Structure 1
Amino acid sequence: MHEQPAPAPRTSPQGELSEVIRPAAIVPEEAARAVLVELALRDVQNGGVWQSGPSLWSRFDRPWNGSENVAGAELIGRIHVAYGTPTRYEITVYRVTVTRFGADLGWSVESLCDEALSHGGLRLRDCPRATLAAPPPPFAG
């Protein structure tokens, strides 16, 4: 496996802290199923603080008041994921963003991931990592 240094987190003009997870973290099949079930049970519309979809998991500071009424809930952060990769039942975590609001509350990229992944018995630092291929050789004309 070709190791690359993790990029430093970037701060956006809105004060969001965004980090590309490199190499990407892989959530194995059994853990992925547990995480998805628990995030669904903790959905903002069901009295929870997560809103999850096939490409994005968002963490709020409190539940919503119905499907379209955020009821003043503030976004803490987002975890960008890809389902079915690298294998059909695994999930890849490839980018994480913590809002300024979330950072002010003490959230970090790692703590946001750890809360979601804990439902599958994982932490971000313990997840298997995607294999990175070496870059192609330079063109020799």
Structure 2
Amino acid sequence: MTDLRNPNPARPAPGEITEVVRPAAIVPEESARSILVELALRDVQHGGVWQAGPSLWSRWDRPWNGTENLAGAELIGRIHVAYGTPTRYEITVYRVTVTAFGAQLGWTVETLCDEALGHGGLRLADCPRTVMGATPQPFRF
């Protein structure tokens, strides 16, 4: 799904706070299923505040008025995720952005993540982390 306020979420807008989660947080299979179900039930187009796609979960301050009608809703933040990694049924959280609007309301990277991950009984601080391998040797001819 496209974020209608920032069509290129990889490039933060002025005033946004973006944090790369290092090492990346891993959402185990059972929690991942619960989170995806709960985010779908809380979809912004159907009375909720989340817009969840396969690579981006966006949190809004209020529901939209139907499909793609923001109805004045303001974006709080985005959680960048990768499904099926490191194993088929897990989800990796690797970057989180809180908008300037969200920060004014007191949202942080942790509170944004904790709200979403809480649907799976997790907090960002409690998530398992990826294992960082050794840096590969430079390629030489």
TM-score for the superposition, normalised by structure 1: 0.88
Q: CA RMSD in A?
A: 1.3
Per the alignment, residue 51 of structure 1 pairs with 51
Percent identical across equivalent pairs? 78
Q: Secondary structure at the match of 1:135?
A: coil
Q: How many correspondences in the alignment? A: 130
1:134, CA displacement in angstroms?
1.1
Q: Secondary structure at the match of 1:20?
A: strand
What are the equivalent positions in structure 2 for 1:25-64 lying under 5 Å apart?
A: 25-64=25-64
1:25, CA displacement in angstroms?
0.2
1:68, CA displacement in angstroms?
1.3
AA paired with 2:61?
Answer: D
What are the equivalent positions in structure 2 for 1:62-101 lying under 5 Å apart?
A: 62-101=62-101
AA paired with 1:108?
Answer: T
1:136, CA displacement in angstroms?
2.1
Per the alignment, residue 7 of structure 2 pairs with none
Q: Secondary structure at the match of 2:107?
A: coil
1:140, CA displacement in angstroms?
7.7
1:138, CA displacement in angstroms?
5.2
Runs of at least 4 residues off by over 3 Å: 137-141
TM-score for the superposition, normalised by structure 2: 0.88
Q: Provide the rounded CA distance (Å) in 1 between the counterparts of 2:82 and 2:69.
A: 27
